[in-house]
């Protein structure tokens, strides 16, 4: 949905927290873990299972190629500069 510009990462995360009771949204969690780590895991699953259904999204591949790895690089699905310097929540990109 983010890749198609239907909605923003913050909206997806908010929906998952409010609707499903998740403690944190999936895109914010991916940023915290690292988009490069997420990409490697998704690629491994896709190759191991031999199913295109598990192919990593192009948006994830593109962000990693651009060096947008999440919190550790300062930007992924969110901009983390303020979080790293002031302890504030990230801004949606």
Distances (CA, A) of 17 to 23, 44, 46, 67, 77: 6, 28, 27, 28, 17
Share of the chain above pLDDT 70, in %: 87
- Separate counts of helices (H) and strands (E) for the chain: 5, 2
* Secondary structure class of 84 (helix, strand, coil): helix
Q: Please determine, for residue 61, whether its predicted confidence score (pLDDT) is greater than 80.
A: yes
Residue 88 lies in a domain: no
CA-CA distance, 52 to 58, in Å (whole number)?
Answer: 13
What does the pLDDT read at residue 4? Answer: 80
- pTM for the model stands at 0.82
Domain count of the chain? 1
Residue 76 lies in a domain: yes
What does the pLDDT read at residue 90? Answer: 64
Residue 3 lies in a domain: no
Contact 80, 31 (CB under 8 A): yes
């Amino acid at each position: 949905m983010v890749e198609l510009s239907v909605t923003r990462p913050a909206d997806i995360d908010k929906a998952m927290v409010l609707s499903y009771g998740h403690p944190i949204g999936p895109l914010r969690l991916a940023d915290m873990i690292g988009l490069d780590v997420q990409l490697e895991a998704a690629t491994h699953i896709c190759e191991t299972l031999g199913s295109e259904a598990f192919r990593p999204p192009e948006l994830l591949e593109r962000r990693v190629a651009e060096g947008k790895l999440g919190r550790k690089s300062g930007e992924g699905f969110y901009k983390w500069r303020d979080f790293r310097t002031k302890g504030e929540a990230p801004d949606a990109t």
